[in-house]
Chains A and B, each alone.
Chain A
Amino acid sequence: MNHIARGTGRLRPGRVLFVLLLLVGAVISTAPFYWMVVASTHDNSELFQSPPPFMPGGRFMHNLVELEHSIGFGRVMFNSAGIAVVYTVLSSLISAMCGYALAKYRFRGRGLLLGAVLATMMIPFQVLLVPLFQMMASLGWVDTYQAVVLPFLANSFGIFLMRQAFLGFPDELIESARIDGAGDLRIFYQVVLPVVRPQLGALVIFTFMTQWNAFLWPLLMLNSEDKYTVPVALYTLIGQSHVDYAGLILGSFLATLPLMLIFFLFQKQFVSGLLGGAVKG
């Protein structure tokens, strides 16, 4: 990697400039996070004073209580977490199972299914917005959680990712497990699935992030305030006549925290999940 090895130790002006630029970029990248901490711990009226506050203040609890009062923040976070967890578990499982069938079985309709999965990957979900909305309306599912979760459970990206992961699994191991008398489902859960744990982990993280971020579809589906997810609730805050900016920033910050936590805990899977097979396999 180190092709610029010559000149190590000496302070080279090019490198100093380069590091300075890198630092400026890093500050631009991270400053909004610091500002979120500052803004969410100050009173709403202090935020737009001149000069603005630069250090964290003491109004965190006050803002939190205010946020709970205005959008029921605790409830909304709970909704978001519940939806994201249920969606992630079901979707990952369904995707992994389908990917396994596509990778390890020959059956009638397999080619068609694989083609459908690939086509789904290329077609953006917005095309389905209107017809899917009407479908939900005619099913009487508007303002329910199944309307938020069900339509996108079969995640073609996940199916494809898992299929690629299973392709590399040796057939002989499956055969020998079968000879040992294990059923197909048991082979899947106890023999095959543990081996693809890294890819499965990446998929789980990716799926959770997607659902945690989801805005447009929940915005369309959920009407009652006590069912809102975090992004929808935050959006309604903007529309109020007297915007509680401090609360808005606090909510945004707290909504981002779970994603940051996942990132710091699972950096490796996180990045490979984002890559989605761009670099390897």
Chain B
Amino acid sequence: MTERETGAGTAARAGAAPRRWWRRSTPWIFAGPAAALLVFFFAYPLVAGFYQSFTADRDGATTWVGIAQYRRMMSDPVFWAALRNTGLILIVQVPVMIGLALLLAFGLNQSWLRFRSTFRIAYFLPAVTMLVAYSVVFRVLLKTDGGLVNQMLTAVGLSEIDWLNSPGWARLALIGSITWRWTGYNAVILLAGLQTIGREQYEAAAIDGAGAVTTYLRVILPQLRPVILFCSVTSTIGTLQLFDENYVLTGGGPGNATMTPVLYLYKVGFEQLDFGYAAALAWVIVVVIGLISYAQFRFFGRDSSR
């Protein structure tokens, strides 16, 4: 890099001042557009939103209310319902999905398996559906009267389920849809990680007398840790930002059973037009995402700081 600076020096000796100016501003010709956009559409609204979270609109005027919006959140049952739902998805859906994806990746990595690439495509296909489109499809599949899922249930002698209108089933429907969409996606990522592990590792473990299960648990899994971390962090962030799926599938209902923080933020901000409260909600979501991602890095990140 010092080479570059001396290069600039010779250019300056040969040329005039404008030329030096051109040299010095060259990096900004490349970085300028992005930097300007980031300042204008990111930094500014970020600060504006933070300020806004300490204000409220009263009688047509915006007034400073201190931390009142944040305190209001503490006693807002819908906010807590949204957090609980997210927590449930985080504790139930994410581990189940990552576990399934891991099994799937191990399976698709077996060399004796025929049609491996066909299987991989089949499992990955849900990940290329448009988010709103697949939510629409599940909404129609789960329709209470005459929906395909209920028809299949009655065909095997079970009773119909009011999927999207009872809290427990609606949550299950949401969890099931997300799992359908993202399991193959995570499996393909994990598979790519698996394929960087050389076969000699498996052979060495076999020579040491380890069975297949032990090999995977003791040898392969620890090496996959960074990739598992990546999958769980992106899945967690995705869960904490959940909006499209439940907005289309259930609208957050019934009775806030599938409400999520971002959907609530949307409703508060753009249906109730309560901008101050929405801004405060947004900041709490950011802090929660930050904390949970940090915790995951601490949990999975140890040992892998090579």
Residues of A within 8 A of B (CB): 1-5, 8, 15, 18-19, 22, 25-26, 28-30, 32-33, 35-36, 39, 47-52, 94-95, 97-98, 100-102, 105-107, 109-110, 113, 116-117, 120, 122-124, 126-135, 150-154, 156, 159, 171, 175, 178, 184-185, 188, 209, 212-213, 215-216, 220, 230-231, 234-235, 238, 245, 248-249, 251-253, 255-256, 259-260, 262-263, 271, 274-275, 278-280
Contact B35 A98 (CB under 8 A): yes
Contact A252 B113 (CB under 8 A): no
Contact A124 B148 (CB under 8 A): no
Name the contact of A101 in the complex, choosing from B30, B111, B131, B137 (C-beta under 8 A). B30
Q: Is B31 engaged at the interface, CB distance under 8 Å to the other chain? A: yes
Task: Tell me which of A29, A102, A213 has the highest count of chain B C-beta atoms within 10 A of its own C-beta.
Answer: A29
The 6 A-B residue pairs with the shortest CB-CB distance in the complex, in nearest-first order? A48-B146, A3-B202, A98-B34, A252-B133, A154-B37, A101-B31
Closest to A7 in B: B112
> Would A127 and B285 be within 8 Å (CB), given that A94-B34, A275-B192, A278-B230 are in contact?
yes
- B interface SS class: helix
Name the contact of A279 in the complex, choosing from B184, B189, B283 (C-beta under 8 A). B189
Task: Report the separation of the CA atoms of residues A97 and B36 in the bound assembly, to the nearest whole angstrom.
Answer: 13
Residues of B within 8 A of A (CB): 1, 3-5, 7, 24, 26-31, 33-35, 37-38, 41-46, 48-49, 52, 104, 107, 109-113, 119, 122-134, 136-141, 143, 145-148, 151, 154-155, 180, 184-185, 188-189, 192-193, 195-196, 199, 202-203, 205-206, 212, 215, 226-227, 230-231, 237, 240-241, 243-244, 247-248, 262, 265-266, 269-270, 275, 278-279, 282-283, 285-286, 289-290, 293
> Would A245 and B140 be within 8 Å (CB), given that A122-B290, A215-B244, A216-B244 are in contact?
yes
Contact A101 B28 (CB under 8 A): yes
Task: Report the separation of the CA atoms of residues A250 and B80 in the bound assembly, to the nearest whole angstrom.
Answer: 38
Contact A131 B145 (CB under 8 A): no
Q: Could you jot down 9 A-B contacts, CB within 8 Å?
A: A1-B111, A18-B107, A35-B148, A98-B34, A110-B31, A124-B241, A129-B278, A252-B134, A255-B130
> Would A135 and B45 be within 8 Å (CB), given that A107-B27, A259-B128 are in contact?
yes
> Would A184 and B112 be within 8 Å (CB), given that A18-B107, A51-B151, A256-B130 are in contact?
no
Q: Which residues of B contact A98 (CB under 8 A)?
A: 30-31, 33-35
Task: Report the separation of the CA atoms of residues A234 and B131 in the bound assembly, to the nearest whole angstrom.
Answer: 11
